[in-house]
Amino acid sequence: MPVSEHRYRRRVQFADTDSAGVVHFSWIVKYMEEAEHALWREAGLTISPADGVVGYPRVALSVDFSAPLHFEDEFEVHVRVEAISRRTIRYAHTIRRGDTVIATGTMTAACVRKTPAPMRAIEIPAEVLRNLSPHIDA
């Protein structure tokens, strides 16, 4: 099923917070990645195929923080495919608690063949392009 954006809802767990009671910055990136995986599932895909030959390591990441999240806060991660090249996918993320923007960011993943070693960049499979390409911004 073609899709290029997804809204992922979540609640902050206690383990996500630091000693100040605020979500640790590293969890924001995990939330972004969880939303990406949900987008792939909605598109009828998996980012980690059972054969384990193709992978999508992150090659670039940027996050701007605007407000904190705390234990039990409910929030939403909006993820969209911002651009696809022959070998990379760039996502744009916005994390919100209601009307409050918590963070915005981008993440780029490269398509690689993991085996045989060494890992090498390859073209994104046709099925992935077909299912993630509609309505791409760039």
Q: What is the pLDDT of residues 69-118, one digit of tens each?
A: 999 999 999 999 999 999 999 999 999 999 999 999 999 999 999 988 89
Q: Spelled out in words, what is the top-level CATH class assigned to the domain 5-132?
A: alpha beta
At residue 2 the predicted structure's pLDDT band, cuts being 50, 70 and 90, is low
Distance (Å, whole) CA 2 – CA 23: 33
**pLDDT score of 52:** 82
Alpha carbon 2 to chain centroid distance? 17
- Sequence-distant (6+) residues with CB within 8 A of 64 are 103, 104, 105
pLDDT at 138 over 50: no
- The confidence score (pLDDT) of residue 54 equals 95
The pLDDT assigned to 108 comes to 98
- Annotated catalytic residue, options 16, 18, 64, 73: 18
Which pLDDT score, from 0 to 100, does residue 134 have?
67
Length, in residues, of the chain:
138
d(Cα 116, Cα 61) in Å, to the nearest integer?
Answer: 27
What is the pLDDT, as a whole number, of residue 71? 96
Residue 137 has pLDDT above 70, yes or no: no
pLDDT in tens, 16-60: 999 999 999 999 999 999 999 999 999 999 999 888 899 999 999
Higher pLDDT residue, 65 or 134? Answer: 65
**What order do you get walking across the sheet with 5-11 strand by strand?**
5-11, 74-84, 88-97, 100-110, 58-65
C-beta of residue 82 within 8 angstroms of C-beta of residue 32: no
At 136 the pLDDT is 63
18 is known as an active-site residue? yes
| Side-chain half-sphere exposure of 55, counting CA atoms within 13 A | 13
- Check pLDDT > 80 for residue 135: no
Q: Which two tokens stand for residue 135?
A: 């309505």
